[in-house]
Structure 1
Amino acid sequence: MMRRTSFNVLVPIIPDYLYRIEHPTHNCSLKFNKMTSSDRECRLISEENATISGFHRHQTVKGEALVEQDLIQENGRIGLLFASKSFVQLFTNPLVGILTAHFGYTPPLLFGFVVMFGSTCGFAFAHTYATLFFCRALQGLGSAFTAVAGFAFLASQYHNDEERGSVISHVTSGVAVGAALGPFLGGVLYYHYGKTTMFLLLAFIALIDGLLRLSMMCGSSSMSEGKSVEYGGDKTNVSIPTLLCDPYIWLMLGCVLLSLSSGAILETILPIHMMIEWRSPSWLQGTIFLPFAIAMFLSQNIFGRLSFRMGRWFCSLLGMQVIAVGLISITQARVVSILIVSVSLVGIGIGMVSSSMVAGLIQIVDVRYASGFGNIFSLFDMTLCFCFIFGPIISGYALRLIGFDWLLYLVATVNIMYAPLLLLIRKVPTKIEHISNEQQK
């Protein structure tokens, strides 16, 4: 949860903060006044307004159209900044899968905490785009070590498929809580106290989390014996290339990729859309993701066990349809209440897919390969990285080409078209069945 919170605090504040960096001579806060259609003007109100005869003098710096164009141009840079974390994480994940097999879970988890703490402190004192970019990339390094080692350890502790799927869903729902707290805390704290105070507070919370994690490691012998616990004696670590030759894994990872990319795209373009179309402040841009994450949290906890009974393929198929409906309804939202319902639908759909497919991937490795779980979680986390690399980058530039509405229509259509492919994973054969079929041929 803490890991996801530290990632998502940037969502509502980066557009405004980058605008400040690009326009340092104005020394101003970006404030949109409520306007009618005949009053198309945006004012940048100086924090050091000159006082003449007891009155504040407000100087109009730019027309609204010019400011909107500046914000739209920032989408590409914002997308690259968000994607840098996932780009680093993408190439680190395979290494972490190997390290957990040889050194257990404690060293990767501890190293991940140190990196995450350092990157959070770095954000507090970053005042250029380059330093923000570097700190974001460090988050990717820390996230890879924390996520892969943590999930692999958890999966190795449960052997019943239904129970394991339920527990994994509960844990991933903590990610949803972090996704909710991140934009909410980021928007509110940045609006009232500024960037430095916000990240120093997060660094303090991260320090407490790290101390609790260290105490847990010291009290658990299995954490330092990750290899024996994970592989259970006769289990071997199946390689990533072997897993990538399995078509069932490809289908599940594709489902995860498309569904979570929908959320990544929404996180990138919705704050800018709200700034331009609704003149919304940073706190509202962060708060709008609160119902999104709450819906995801509830969905993951409900469908973690329910998907086992209704069929994980069917639960994911329905989830992709719900995502599509939510994205389309966002384009029609003209008031906050409708937008809340729409983003909640997207959160419900993503929760249905993630709770089903994570458990499904673990089951495939368990029944078809009798392997440890380090490398399958590396693949899963790499898929998440692709979501948050190409989602922000593509959406940032696609927004300039086809606009907000058509971009969401396109993403919704892709989800609808992919969903029927999940019929192919209704029954996943075990490795023994697969070998016998090959011998018969």
Structure 2
Amino acid sequence: MLGDLGSSLSSSSLFPPVPIIPSYLYNLDESADAVRNNSLLHQQDPAGSFRSIVSLYDNSVKQSGFNSTTRSADPVPPTPAGSELLQNSSDCPRFSKKLLNENVKVGMLFASKATVQLLTNPFIGPLTNRIGYQLPIFAGFCIMFLSTIMFAFSSSYALLFLARSLQGVGSSCSSVAGMGMLASVYTDDEERGHAIGIALGGLALGVLVGPPFGSVMYDFVGKTAPFLILAFLALFDGALQLFVLQPTKVLISTQSSYPFIFIPGAICFGNMAIAMMEPTLPIWMMETMCARKWQLGVAFLPASISYLIGTNIFGTLAHKMGRWLCALIGMVVVGFSVLCVPFAKDIYGLILPNFGVGFAIGMVDSSMMPIMGYLVDLRHVSVYGSVYAIADVAFCMGFALGPSIGGSIAESIGFSWLMTIIGIVDIFFAPLCLFLRNPPGQEEKIENILLYISIQRLLPY
């Protein structure tokens, strides 16, 4: 129960920036350009009396004033093209090179979290094997609290980048230690799959609440309020862990805990699809659908709901139908769903493709996470920190490469081609899950040992 609450609160802190950041950075850039253009306007026409009113509430700039000259033939200076967009009362930004460039900035900012998490995971895994899982979980929530506070009060790209990077450290501590603790508590394979499905459901609940909560609050209240609320919830969860969890130590494993390479591959490429959509889909909606701020987060709602459904259903069902088959079907569904996203003409057209993306990723995650713990039980000492660090590295690879590469591809050849590329990659990766059909187990190793003993008895000395 505590792990489910922790997962939901952690992901709730990670996903509200998804709809907020693209619009916020675009407004910051437009405000800076408008102020710069107004300064040039004053230098060119000192006789005119113009003022720029900067609203810190929604980061907009408005021009007001009049021409103080008495010559009727002296016209009011024309408004620069850069400020024309801000004077338009419509919420729909017109297509421009600047809006297209936001893909790269937003993609790099989102990728910073996963990149830092990718670099941190190799240290967190062995650390949990030495000091236990409880202290890293608590440290992770403390770091998440600090980064959320930074998001609330940051007003520059550099500070937002730093806050997002800190989230990577906190998320690494929480996710690796949390999954390892679940695997160590639930030793039965079927029970472990069910427990991990519930934990991923907690993650899905945070994903479900995060983007709509962030976009609606940002549209009607402002940027600071949603992050302050999330910081308070993170503080509450950290205090709850301080009283409930008791630090323990575990035995150190001296054996390798590296699973099959196709398991991290499925996790990586499956999640890379939604990772590429996070920075690029809101900007594409602003360009093509004239989407309001609150719609930028609500667009991810079908994916979040279906991910919650998928993880809870297939956490148990995948054990019965075969986890390899569950992952294979999930990768195919992810690919075809992503291919359908660019055909949407409005926000309602995104419901079915996004629902398919979330449901399929839930199938992949809920089947691959338990099988990694299962392989550790059969082949190595049952210490799970390192193996779930590998799983989290795969997850972070998707969320590090996805936004950074996706933003550049969307800028160069367009959002539609970006979705086509990742969709085809997922579909072609799916058959590789066949290699996970019959993983070697402890029983197979025992049979080999008995066969070797029998042969030795038959051989003459």
In the alignment, what sits opposite 1:417?
Answer: 428
Alignment of 1:17-416 (within 5 A): 17-25=24-32, 26=34, 48=62, 50=64, 61-62=83-84, 67-217=95-245, 223-227=246-250, 237=253, 242-244=256-258, 246=259, 249-416=260-427
Deviations 1:65-122 (A, max 9, x none): 9753211101111111111111111121121112212212232122112111111111
**Which protein has the larger Cα radius of gyration, Structure 1 or Structure 2?**
2
Normalised by the length of structure 2, the TM-score is 0.82
AA in 1 matched with 2:28: I
CA distance change for structure 1 residues 19 and 331 in 2, over 3 Å: closer, same or farther? closer
Measure the CA separation in 1 of the matches of 2:100 and 2:448.
55
In structure 1, the gaps of 5 or more residues are: 28-43, 53-58, 218-222
Measure the CA separation in 1 of the matches of 2:109 and 2:325.
36
Q: Secondary structure of 2:266's partner?
A: helix
In the alignment, what sits opposite 2:50?
Answer: none
Normalised by the length of structure 1, the TM-score is 0.86
Q: Would you identify which runs of 4 or more consecutive aligned residues in structure 1 move more than 6 Å?
A: 63-66, 435-440
AA in 2 matched with 1:315: C
In structure 2, the gaps of 5 or more residues are: 1-7, 36-57, 67-78, 86-91, 453-461
Quick check: 2:31–2:59 contact (8 Å CA) kept in 1?
Answer: no
Q: Secondary structure of 1:243's partner?
A: coil
The counterpart of 1:12, out of the listed 8, 14, 19, is 19
- CA drift of 1:336 comes to 2.7
Quick check: 1:108–1:149 contact (8 Å CA) kept in 2?
Answer: yes
AA in 2 matched with 1:202: L
CA distance change for structure 1 residues 214 and 333 in 2, over 3 Å: closer, same or farther? same
Identity of aligned residues (%): 38
AA in 2 matched with 1:196: T
- CA drift of 1:135 comes to 0.9
CA distance change for structure 1 residues 213 and 299 in 2, over 3 Å: closer, same or farther? same
Q: Which deviates the most, 198-207 or 314-323?
A: 198-207
Quick check: 1:238–1:369 contact (8 Å CA) kept in 2?
Answer: no
Quick check: 1:238–1:375 contact (8 Å CA) kept in 2?
Answer: no
Q: Secondary structure of 1:194's partner?
A: coil
Quick check: 1:79–1:268 contact (8 Å CA) kept in 2?
Answer: yes
In the alignment, what sits opposite 1:34?
Answer: none
In the alignment, what sits opposite 2:49?
Answer: none
Measure the CA separation in 2 of the matches of 1:118 and 1:45.
24
Q: Which deviates the most, 315-324 or 197-206?
A: 197-206
CA distance change for structure 1 residues 238 and 7 in 2, over 3 Å: closer, same or farther? farther
AA in 2 matched with 1:283: W
